[in-house]
Structure 1
Amino acid sequence: MPLFVYGTLMRGERSHALLGGTRYLGPARTPRSFELADFGAYPALVRGGSVAVLGELYESDRETLASLDLYEGCPDLFQREAIALEGGARCEAYLMPAGQALGRPRIASGDWRARQR
């Protein structure tokens, strides 16, 4: 299943190299059913909001996913789960349980790169 990334793993961001040789499939967007919490150095995708989150889609292998699980603190900090994208395509993404994001500011645009504009 493809992997949806929305923060520091995107092209041009500081952790993109962790995707290794995965194949870029293009830009993607979630339906308006999420929130993007701002943790300063990274964002967190949270279910249950009303924001469409912008990101990128990658074809990933098991080895890369295992490395990303460690990097993302999965399953303690983030959980890799199946989600639907705008248009109905399915993918996996790293989500943070809502309780862990309480009190964090939200990125209303759903766009990590545009957060400081």
Structure 2
Amino acid sequence: MPLFVYGTLMRGERSHRLLGRAPFLGIARTARSFELADLGAYPALVRGGSAAVVGELYEPDRETLASLDVYEGCPDLFQREMIELDGGARCEAYLMPAGQALGYPRIASGDWRARGR
């Protein structure tokens, strides 16, 4: 199952190396049903908004995915869930429960890299 990443795991970001040799499948956007919360050092994908969040798709093996679960604090901080992409395809992504993201600013563009522009 492809994995959608949208923050520090993307190419050129500080944690990208954790994807190891996972094949890059391309750039993608979520369906317009999410918010991207800015937690300072990293973002959080949250259900229930109207943004199409920008990210990248990878195909990690089970070992890499298990390591990413630990890195993402899954299932306590983030939860790996199925999401829908723009166009209807499905993949997995790390989401933060909406209650945990309360009070954090939102990145209206849905693009972590463009947050400071």
Q: TM-score range by the shorter chain?
A: over 0.9
Partner of 2:95: 95
The SS at the match of 1:116 is coil
Cα separation, 1, equivalents of 2:50 and 2:57: 21
| Letter in structure 2 aligned against 1:35 | E
Identity over aligned residues, as a percent? 85
Tell me the secondary structure at the aligned position of residue 77 of structure 2.
Answer: coil
Measured against aligned partners, the alpha-carbon deviations of 1:56-108 in whole angstroms (never above 9, x if no partner) come to 00011100000000000000000000111011111000000000000000000
- The normalised TM-score by structure 1 is 0.99
Deviation at 1:31, TM superposition (A): 1.0
Q: What residue is the counterpart of 2:64 in the other structure?
A: 64
Q: Give the unaligned 5+ runs of structure 1.
A: none
Stretches (4+) displaced over 3 A: none
1: CA distance between counterparts of 2:3 and 2:65?
9
The 3-state SS of whatever aligns with 1:44 is strand
Give CA deviations for 1:14-62 in whole Å, capped at 9, x if unaligned: 0000000000000000011000000000000000001000000001110
Write the mapping of 1:28-67 to structure 2, written as runs, cut at 5 A. 28-67=28-67
- Separation of aligned partners in 1, 2:90 and 2:63: 20
Secondary structure at 1:67's aligned position in 2?
A: helix
Q: How far apart, CA to CA, are the structure 2 residues paired with 1:104 and 1:23? A: 32
Q: Secondary structure at the match of 1:36?
A: strand
Q: How far apart in 2 are the matches of 1:17 and 1:95?
A: 20
Measured on the aligned residues, the alpha-carbon RMSD in Å equals: 0.4
CA distance in 2, matches of 1:103, 1:42: 15
- In the other structure, the counterpart of 1:4 is 4
